[in-house]
Amino acid sequence: MVGRRPWEIASEKLIELVIRICGISAVLFVFGIFFFVFREGSDLLFHRFNFKEFFTSIEWYPTSQSHVRYGVLALIAGSASVTALAMAIAVPFGLGAAIFISEFCGPKLKETLKITIELLAAIPSVVWGFIGLTVMNPMIITLFHAPIGLNVLNAGIILALMSVPIIVSIAEDALKAVPDSYREAALALGATRWQVVYRVLLPAAKNGLLAAVLLGVGRAVGETMAVLMATGHAVKIPSSVLDSVRTLTATIAAELGEASMHSDHYQILFIIGVLLFLITFAVNLTADLIVKGIRGK
């Protein structure tokens, strides 16, 4: 502690302060965003909001001249169906790819695969939407004799392709984090490589793998541009994967520009934003609780 000049101490304090601001800012921004989104919709929410219609009606007629109705059930069903299908495709593929990259392939192939997967993550969502619109749409019509190729299947596949890179890279990190001593011990006991994966690595990396899947879900729920183009944007509760749907996010994107400031339509779109926020919050909270539960044992 001898010989430290005052300016050294001061600059250290300054750097500490800057880093502290960086740390706290994330929390502030999250609360700030929630606050502003909530505020924009609060007038309607507290005075004229029809909870029953909002959650149980499929009738979304925000600009009707005779009878304006704001039912988002079909939009929730649209978001849920597309996300579910995307995860049904992306989770097995993503986890499988992560296990292969981390445990089974040689170092050269590993590098190539990792770079390629990162490239997949870098494709902008509007390009994915474009692929859905121009490549997948006619393909689905010819393959399945569907009336239209913009549907749950199309958007589900696109979203799966978009979430796979996230799932792979986080799951691969989680597997890599399992200490080598675990692998060595299992192999020394005479386990085959598959047994090592099933019995040792997957249980050990459980938390990280779950986090990978949930981040994939978050990506799928929040995606807007690609689903706007690939779902067909039709207000409808899907009865099969070949039905067109509309998602919560796409509705906000398509309609917010038109709604005049502070009209009911404008406010209801912000309430949908709050709903989306609560959905992602619930997903993250579940993840945290599961992770804590696992750790507690």
Partner 1 sequence: MHPLHQEATATAVMNLKLMKQTTQRAGWGVGIRLTAAVLAVVAVGLLVTGCKRSDSSQGPGGKQDIQNTGSDTMVNLAQAWAEEYAKVDPAVSVEVSGGGSGTGIAALINGTVDIANCSRKMEPEEMAKAKQNTGKDPQEFMVGYDGLAIYVHQNNPIGEITLEQLAEIYREGGKITKWSELGVQLPGGASDEIVRVSRQSNSGTYQYFREAILGKGHDFKLGSVDQNGSKDVVELVSKTPGAIGYSGMGYATPEVKVLPVAKKSGDKACAPTVDSVLNGTYPISRPLFMYTLGQPAGSIAKYMDWIHSPAGQKIVAQSGYVPLPEGGAKTETRK
In the complex, minimum distance from the CB of residue 243 to partner 1, in angstroms, rounded to a whole number: 8
| Contact of 250 with 231, CB cutoff 8 Å | yes
Residues 251-290 that bind partner 1 (CB under 8 A): 254-255, 257-261, 287-288
Distance between CA atoms of 85 and 32, rounded to whole angstroms? 33
Q: Which stretch binds partner 1 (CB under 8 A): 62-70, 87-95, 99-107, 268-276?
A: 62-70
Distance between CA atoms of 181 and 74, rounded to whole angstroms? 51
The tokens describing 191, both together, are: 């386990």
Alpha carbon 4 to chain centroid distance? 49
The tokens describing 211, both together, are: 């986090």
The site string for partner 1 over 208-247 (x = CB under 8 A, - otherwise) reads x-xxx-xx------------x---xxxxx-------x-x-
**Nearest C-alpha neighbor of 210 from the set 282, 283, 287:** 287
Residues 3-42 that bind partner 1 (CB under 8 A): 17, 20-21, 23-29, 32, 36
| Eight-class DSSP state of 124 | -
Distance between CA atoms of 137 and 149, rounded to whole angstroms? 4
Q: Which is nearer to partner 1, 8 or 288 (CB)?
A: 288
Q: Which stretch binds partner 1 (CB under 8 A): 101-109, 140-148, 153-161, 190-198?
A: 140-148
| 151, amino acid identity | N
Residues that bind partner 1 (CB under 8 A): 17, 20-21, 23-29, 32, 36, 58-67, 74, 137-138, 141, 145-150, 170, 173-174, 176-177, 205, 207-208, 210-212, 214-215, 228, 232-236, 244, 246, 254-255, 257-261, 287-288, 291-292
